Amino acid sequence: MVKKQLVGLSLLLVLSFFMIGCEQVDFSKLTVPSTREQIQFIKVEIFFTDGVTLIGYVKNLGIEPEGKVYVGGSSTNYLYDAHGKIIGAYNYQRVLYMKIIPENQPNTK
């Protein structure tokens, strides 16, 4: 008898924790397949102040939220390949300008 009461009390305790802890959970999201938000990369040619150019992809034309700005104005931004993998980093302070390259245009360098 005591064993049944203990099991019943434990079950009641677990159910109460479940009900209290799950008030803010949106259960409708469990039935919808998750879709990973696709980041749109921009193909650019980056011209630096020393005359060097790079062709690659960036997330935006300014300083990225993931980038870091250091004291003195230098910063670190990332350069990506067509598949979104980081292939390099550059200092945005040394960027003269960026030229947007249409996606169907082949790399010239």
Structure-model confidence comparison of residues 55 and 8, the more confident one: 55
Q: Domains, the chain, ranges and CATH?
A: 42-100 (2.30.30)
Average pLDDT over residues 79-103: 89
pLDDT at 55 over 90: yes
Q: What is the pLDDT of residues 21-44, one digit of tens each?
A: 655 656 566 666 655 567 789 999
What is the reported pTM? 0.56
Gap between the Cα atoms of 40 and 49, Å rounded: 27
Alpha carbon separation from 58 to 20, 34, 67 (Å, rounded): 44, 25, 11
pLDDT at 16: 72
